[in-house]
Structure 1
Amino acid sequence: MGTTNIWQQFKALIPEGSKVVATISALNGNGTSQAQLRDGSIVTVKGESVGVGQKAFIQGGEVKGTAPDLAQYDVEV
């Protein structure tokens, strides 16, 4: 009979790495893109499936797909 580790089962439900929304600022032509994060910093990510000026989901340093262009609000609590 094997033991069941509830913590490991819970961790398996959560995807690895955080997912962020960024604006694609350039396609590099070598399978990577430049993405601008909300704080203004630019990062290089894998993938060129999202066009320049569009929002993309970035997870684990890779473009995962197109993100909806929704209004953004900052609320201080």
Structure 2
Amino acid sequence: MKGDRVEIVVDIGNGVQTFEIEATRAGRRVDISVSRGVVEVSEVTRGGTTIRTGRFMATRIVAMVEHPAGEDRATT
């Protein structure tokens, strides 16, 4: 759903870096899959076409937060 987003905090060795994947248009969604030590977060259309993808090593992820569309961005 438009506005859904996933925030991923990754350990980069000397600190952390934050990444966001967001469903940017109506009819899109954010999918998360985990396999073989890799977490993949993708923005996907209604038809199943992947628009953008972020891949992260599971051992490096510090936090992963799913924000529903109705949640206010200022509260994070």
Q: TM-score, length-normalised on structure 2?
A: 0.31
Q: Which is greater in Rg? A: 1
Asked which structure has the greater RCO (Cα within 8 Å, sep 6+), the reply is 2
Q: TM-score, length-normalised on structure 1?
A: 0.31
More strand by share: 2
